[in-house]
Every structure is written in C-alpha cells, then in structure tokens.
Chain A
Amino acid sequence: MAITVARAISESEVANLLEPEVSSWFFTTFGSLTPPQVYAIRSIQNHENTLIAAPTGSGKTLAVFLSIINELLSMGKRGLLEDAVYAIYVSPLRSLNNDIEKNLNSTLKGIQRAAKIKGLDKGLPEIRVAVRTGDTPSSERAKMLRKPPHILITTPESLAIILCAPKFREKLRSVKWVIVDEIHELCSSKRGVHLTLSLERLQELCTENFTRIGLSATIHPLEEVAKFLVGFENGALRDCVIADTRFVKPTKLTVDLPVADLVHTSANYVTSRTYKVIKNLVRRHKTTLIFTNTRSGTERVVYHLSKLNVVDADELAAHHSSLSREIRKEVEDKLKEGVMRAVVTSTSLELGIDIGSIDLVVQIGSPKSISRCLQRIGRSGHALNKVSEGVLIPLERDDLVEDAVLAAEASKGRLDRVYIPKAPLDVLAQHIVGMAIEKKWHIDEAYKVLTRSYCYRDLTLDQMKRLLKYLSGGYKSLENFRVYGKIWYDEDEGTFGRRGALLRVIYATNIGTIPDEVAIKVYTVEGRWVGSIEEEFLERLTKGDIFILGGRLYEYRYSKGAKAYVKPIKEGKPTVPTWFSEMLPLSFDLGEAIGRFRGEMFRKLKERVAKNEIINWVMQDYKCTLNAAKAILGYMKAEYDFLTTLGITEMPSNKNLLVEDYLDNEGRQNIIFNATFGRRVNDALSRAYAHILALNLKANIMLTVSDSGFMLTLPRGKRVDPHWLVKQVGKENLRSLLISSIRNTELIRRRFRHCATRSLMVLRNYKGHEITVAKQQTNSQILFKLCDELEGFPVVEEAYREVLEDVMDVKTAEEVLGEIYLGERRYIIAPSSDLPSPFTHDLILLGYSDVVLMEDKKALLEALYDSVLRRIKEKRLEGRARR
C-alpha cells in the first residue's frame, strides 16, 4: 500500500520554495507555520496526493492554497498560465464556498501588496477565483466560459453538472489539483460517494493525473479516508501522504450533572436544574455554543434559556437546518463579530465555516460518537494554542455513562471508525447517465473508470449490466421495450450511449443525492389552511389520530393528493407515536467501550472496592464531576444488586450479553437483550430475532430498539424459551432474515422512494415541472410493489442495501454473531422475572419502534384483520365501561 506519513518541512525550506512576494506576504502576515502547514506543504509542493487531518482554524486551507497560488504565479511569470481551470475546490457547503472565495481573494491581494512593496509587482500575473454552484446566474457562467477562473470553487453536485457541460468541460482538461474539503463529512454519505465518481470522470477528461488533496477534521482511520480520496489506478491504490495533526489542539472535557442521583430524581427537577447549570456557564463565558442532538431540542433549549433571562434576547439564538438561509447567515455573522453570548444548534454549526471566537462548548445529551464530540468541542478556543473547552451535560442515565466513557476515550486519543458506503447503485445510475451524455462507451471501458473509485472497487460487471438494462428500459416487456429508456444499450456489442435530446436537461435538473422532504398542506374540512406537516408524518396518520400543529390540537380526517384535512379539537392526547425522531445512533466503537466500562465497574463492585475509591476512579479517568460520578455509581450499583438477587453471577459487559425474560403486567413475555452495540447494529439483530419469532409463533412481534439494547414483545398467550431463541440467528442467515422482515415496512418503502429518485426512475424535475414529493410518494408505493417482484432489479437491490448497510449495520452485526458462535462473546440468560433490570428501564419507556409482520401479503392481511378486530373489541369495551 502506498499510503505514507508526511515529513515535516522547516520554515527556511518553505521560504526557499516560495516565490519571493508569496514568501514575504506569508511570513509578514503569519510569522510562522502551523502544524498542518509544517506537515502538508512538502507533499503538496511535490504534487503528491495528500490528506490533511487537523482541527478547524488550524490553517490547513492555507497550507493547500499557499503552494497552489505560488505555482500559478510562477507559471504566469513564465508565460505558461492559460485561460483554463487549474485547481478545483469542492466543499459540501455553499456558505463555506463563499468564505473560501473571500479568503482567497484577500490572500491574492495581500501577495500583490507584498510584491508592490518589494517592487516585484510588474508583470505579476492575475489569478482568477470564482464560485460556481446552483445559484450562479447564467450570465456569470457565460463569463466563466470566456475567462475561466484558475481556481474554481464548487459543490459536488455542480461539479457533476459541469462535467457534462459541452463547452465548459473543455476548460477542465488542464486541472492539476482537486481539493476536497470537509472530507470527513462527505465520505460517510452518498453525497461523497457521488463525488468520488465525479473525480474519476474528471480524471478521464484531464490530460495529466491531478493531485488530490483532502481536508479533514478529527476522524479515524485516516487510511480509509485517504483511500476514499485517491481511489485506484490499474488495480492498485494511488499513492497518498497523510499529514496527521488531529491532536495538536489541547482539549478539556468535563461531564457535569446537576444532581447526584438519576435513579430517584424526577425528570422535571433534573431539567430545571440543568437549565440553571447552563445559565451559570453562559454567564461565566463570553460566547457559548450549545449543541443538542435534534432541531426540536434546539428550539426547546432556546425557549427555556430565554425564559430564564440568561442573556439579552438579541444575544441568544438558534441555528439549525430548518431555519432559513438568511436567518442562519445573520447568526453566523453575529458570531463572527463576537456579539452573541449563546447560540444553540443541532448539527448545522458542526462544519468548518468560520464562526469566530468561542470560549465554551456545551453538549446537552450524548453526542453519540467520539469524533463528533471532538468536532463540536473543537469549535471553541479558536486560536490553535488555546484550549478547547467542553462541558457534557447528560439528560438521562444512559447518556451519563455514554458521556463519561466518551470523555475517557477521547482523552486517550481513541476515535470511532468512520463508515463509508459501498457501491450504491442509485448514485452509479446518475453517473452512467452522465457518461452516456458525454459519448458512446464500451461497457468494459466505463467499468474500468467507475471501479477506480474506492467505493466501487467491488462493483460487479453483472450489477453494472443490470443498471444499464434498467436505464435502457430493458425490464419492460418486448412491445414497449426501449421506448422509455434514458439511454440505449447494445447488449451484444457491449456499448451504451445517450438517447434523446432531453437527457442533458434531465441530468442537470435531477442530479444529487439528498432526498426532498416537502411539506404537505393541512386544511380544516371546511377548507381553511392551518399549516404544514412533513409528508413522513402524514404517512403515519389515519382517521381519528390526534396531533399538534402550531401549538394546536387537530384530529386527522383524510387526505387527497398533497393536502391533508383535519378538524380542530379542544382537548385530547396526541395519538401519533413520537419515536420517529432524528436521533443520532451511538457508534459501535463507543458502545464497545461502554460495554468494557460496565464490565470493569462490575468487577470492582464484586471485589467490594471502596465506594470512595470508585468515585475517585470515575472522576479521574472519566472526567466526571462529583455529582456525575456518584450518579454513575448509583446506577451501576442498582443493576448489580438487582442481578445478584436474581442469582446472576456473571455480570453484563461487552463480552457478556445479558438476555432478560421479563413478564410485564399485561402478562406478555418480553425478551430483552442488553447490548450496547448502538442502534444500527441492534436494529439489525432485533429484526432478525423478531422475524424468527413471527415465523414460529405465527404472530406479529413488537420491537423496541435503542443504543444499549432491544426488546421483543410477544403477543399475550405466546411463550418462547430464550435459550432456544438466541441460537436461531447466525452470521449465515442474518441477511436473508432481515430482507424478509423489512419487506412490508414503511422504512423500505421510504428508502425505495429516495433510491428511485436518485436513480432517475422518478424524476423530481421534468420538462421544467417540479414533481411534488406527494406525487413521487404515491407512485413509489405502488412502484415498490411492482419492482420488488422483478428479478434482480437494481433500484430495489439498492434500497435493501441502503437499509441493511447504511441505516442498519449488518456487517458489524454479522461480526458480532460470528464472535458469539466462536464463544468470544456469550449470551447470559437471566431467569424469568416480572421485574426488568434497571439498565432496561429507559428502553422499556421508549415505546415500540416497529413491528415485524409476517412476510407475505396474505399473512399481512390476516395480521391487519386481527388487529382491526382487536381494536374494535377494545373500543366496545371502553364504551361499555364508560356507560
């Protein structure tokens, strides 16, 4: 493998490498090099692919552009600078793009000034910089074609479009550098996967191999990200140098809790104390950034803080993705000016836009991943030598343990592993269409280009052929075969190309990987407009459901097209389950660490280590305040005592998976798996076990899944032996069980719709018309049914892959099952009890996440029939009771 560690460069070496005016400008402005600059400049200067990992504000962007600007100036002086694009900078954020443009222009001005002072400004070439995104007006684009920027700033989507722009793409043949910013964010999403294919297509266009430069925040393992950046050439990984300066900024983390006991304290009291703690923190600091995990959480925190009069109203604001771009921009600007005291945000301020000086980051609830936590905390202590200070405030018991273990892992420099999606076929479909627009391809030649991307290294020729068959309309029967194909595909000759003049427009207006979620308008039955709901929410409503909209109660009646009709009501309790949330899943690696911590704690309790000693250990190693340490001990001790009374001697840990057999007060059997694998793994495991139960008991199984375990609830009157159950799922049958168990779920239908849109099967925009999501949705439900019956249909294959691999983590679940088979992990099965252990209380309160229905449609109908009859009976009983 050709991934190597960067070598440092000295300041004098840098000064020698740079053109005099560049060197003069740099050293008078900055004085010295920052760590990412020390480690990255040499390889970039040598045109070697380079991945730079460093905290925000550490000068890594400049490390890149210093060499590039220097070389462009030098070329210009030698008369080699043409009207062509030499460097492309890609970032996922438009706001970041605008920042970069501003910074580059001021850098260029600075160099010009330095040249003038030195009398070197005569004949100094002009370097042009321009941003090109979906917002760029066509007049600007025309200008760019006449005088192309030397440095082009763009987004992944716009890059893919430019690749098909007949004239402008010619200006890209000269590209020497491509910079991918926020690569840690991109590499774990389909958006990033999409970009890797654009890069390979760009490489195909360019006359020489361009240098790839990736900019990343704290992430692990860097080798994986490097591979994502560089890809393959002739079957071998391209070379890459890694400049790892992730831990140059000192970080101070504290886990604080306003109470010393979370088992016996009421939630209301904990909440009110929590806001007081935050209030004090905000008042003691100049600017505090507060992270919550959800948008609704953000709104709630702002509401409570403003009620407490923590700071002046205009010094406190929310910043999240549902707010308009203008509002977000205003908050960002005020942060930069240093006039904000507190900003509450969900994920939108995680990324690298410059937000000025922040002296404290508060995280409410568990951030669920070590990397994410460090990224968030890293927003404080803006200068490199300043300490990033973060306070973690948990909301419930499992949060508390998560935060403590996270702080301990972070302090040891351990990070959770990044997940890179593998060969999504919907993204590939877009690029195949794009390539067909360019020219006629031979399938082998195209396959070679596409599999150079790290994400598509395992793409099979068969998958590619099925995609071509789909895109050419080949799944239709012979009569209308090929009439509706987007491309033509000659199977015998192995060639494909564009069909119809409309294709270019379809490509340009439908490209991208982020699914639309459009609002459904809500009216009263009399026709008065009352607001909007998300279509995913409408998916859950049936007649009689009660929900809140804009602070008012409504009863849902019916929907027609993209409109929902409701009746306002005075009182009632919302009936739609709230589990459907935007919660982030716990990373598997952090979950494992929590399992290890549990094991260690129980060992100490078993050995009767003194209470004070344990509290000191937690405070020291786990960065907890006294309150937090006490609460952790109390929680762990409660579990320990409970299990001891049940006669259990082997306590739960990452290796010992405790399975509880709990009979609830309705007489139902609940099988609870204590497994801190995180929701992605638990989701997969739980559905497989539930499917086994559904098959064997011929009944629907209710499912509850959290980051630290899952629960299977059997219908009344059905019983099963947990010893038997745990042996039924293994590495070999997990995938097939999962596919059968998700076939009738809302999850697969929704994901299929997204995949159908990304695969250009359902267009968002066609012949200048926006196609509403409601329309896409209605059709997609029927479409899924039809497509699911087709043999090897790639869009369906991708929907299942996305659910199994991206939403869930089937691969790690398989590994876990393999380890159980080998005896490296074991199930500890507790005796049947009518009390669940304290570790499971939060899980039980969560409410059902899903139901695993029997597989085929006939059984589904029977199941629905039974549940309708049951509900009718319950209603009648209720009616009688009322009388």
Chain B
Amino acid sequence: MLARSKAAEIGASGIGKDFGDFTALDDVSLTIGRGEFLTLLGPSGSGKTTFLMLLSGFLAPTRGQLTLDGQDMTRTPAEERAFGMVFQGYALFPHMTVEQNIAFPLTVQKRPAAEVKRRVADAIELMGLGGHGQKRPAGLSGGQQQRVALARALVYEPPVLLLDEPFSALDKNLRGQMQDEVRRLHRETGTTFVFVTHDQSEALALSTRIAIFEHGRLQQLAPPREVYDRPANRFVAEFLGEINVLPLTDLSTGPGGATGRFEGQRLGAPAPGQAGATTLAVRPEHMRLHMTAPASGNKVAARLDHLVYLGAETRLALRSPGGTDLTMTLPTAELPAALEPGATVWAAWPEDRGFLL
C-alpha cells in the first residue's frame, strides 16, 4: 500500500443538493487537485458532510456536475467509484477479524490470493497493528480501530480517500497521533485526500487547502495561512479562531491602503478585498501590549478587564473607552510584571496585520 496510487482530480461545478424544501448545498464549484489534501470545514449543518456524500456517490446531486479526471461521474454509483472512505465511528465489519476487514476490498476486486495476503500483511505492518490481525474490532482500542479503518480504505490504492470526521470519537492525545498518521499516509500514498471536520485547528494543521462551508455555500477555498490571515468574510474570520472586530467610521481607501476612525483614533489597514467593508479585524495574537502609547502603527487605548492564564500563553481581556471588547494573547513569558486589572494599556499592531471586512 506504499505504492503511490494514481491519485485522481475531482471537479465540481454548480453542485446543489435539496432535501425536500431544504437546500443543503447551493452552487458549489471547485477543483480538488491530484494528491491534494483538501479539508471541508464548517459548523454542523453547513453542508460539508453532504458534499462529501456527493463525492462518494452515496448521494446524488440535485444540480450540477461532478467529474473524475475530467470524466463525468455525476450519476456513477458509489460502488463503481470505489473511493476509499473512513467513516465517523469507523464502520468496521464487527464479525470479521482485522485481517478479514482489511482484505475485504481486495477480495471484492478479485485480486489474486497471494496479492491479498501480501497487501494485508503490509498494511498491518505499516499501521502498527502487528499481533492484532486475528482480533475482532470489538477487542481493539479506539485508536487501533481507526488504524484498521484507514488500512481498509487505503489497501486497494483508491484514487481518492474520503474521511468523514474520523477523529471525533478520540481523545485529544490520540487525535494528535492520528493526525500525524494521516499526514504520513497522505505523503506516502500520494492519494487525493478529502477530509471533513468541524475542528478548525485540525483543518489548519493537515490541509493543503481548506474549503469553508456555511449555510450550504462555499465561503472560501484557500491554503490554511490564507484563510486564517486573509479570510474572505466575517464568518470565515470568526470560524477559524478568535478575532477582534473594530467598527470604523470615515473609511477612505487610497493607493497605499485604507484608513478609518475607531473611537476617534485613526487606524490603517491594507485595501479591502471586497466593497462595503466597514470593520477592521485583528487576530488577538497579532496585537502587542504597550504600557505607554507607541510612536507608530495602529494603536488603541483600553482598560485591562482581566487576565486568563493558559499556560504558555496568557489572554488579556480589554475594554476600550467606547465599550468595545478586545482580546489579546501574549506569550506568558513576555507579560509585564506589574500588570493589574484596571490598568490603562495600549493595544498596538502593524497596519498590515489587520484586514477590512
């Protein structure tokens, strides 16, 4: 299973899916590149899982077209697409041993017995399941079951691997290990991975690109850094992590960027990506703490409301004179010694760290 499989390219154009009167997906168009690791990210009910089911062929779209390497596959049923799939809850065959589970897709494809045996043995070895081959899924831990599910989905070198929230049942440490495992499998197999999650940090850590869904629409499709640093809209900005939102007045856009006023203070930012932007957004970790007004850059005076100690980081909750709540995260090591709630401080950040939404 280490052989690099013939990874496929998937295209979706104008995809829509209705369930009765409810539109679960609307007008989704994107291309998933060969060997890409694409994450479908969104809150529950956003349409990300519906989109995965359309890719797998278990659901048929109401509108639009799906292609596999340029060939239409809109109406191809799941059993003919035969993409690898890892389900939430693993969906292992409970009456079969680990070996039989992993061998199943190979037997279905009528591969020679010797090849089945060799591939199953390789997969067991590769996934660190040695000594568990004769056990049934009920006798394995959650992490081991997850490995069996991955081995079973990859053992026949499918052109695409679909993963539906595979780690949602695992505890935090195991989750981290399995993320490393999936990253390694993606690198070693070179297969196209499509991964569904509602966990933004998981999406940022694993993906080559992230597709963010809300209300059945694709909100943004971009590499992790871009969706985090240059979110297309406020939903994306807030979904990917905490963000400070400062309403601006007197906004004017020039060649070098935009400026506006927040509670009388002039603030600058790069020119907005979309028209009608009225707020300035800044991530908490991009703000710096100053005890006196800094000479340059954007700065806002605020009163320190309280501190939340988080170990390596400390979060500062601030309130501006106008009543806007601001959050700033600092490495705990950089925290000034005599910082008490009630103190007046300055939050400052370089103009190019903020963005207009």
B is a partner of A = no
Residues of A within 8 A of B (CB): none
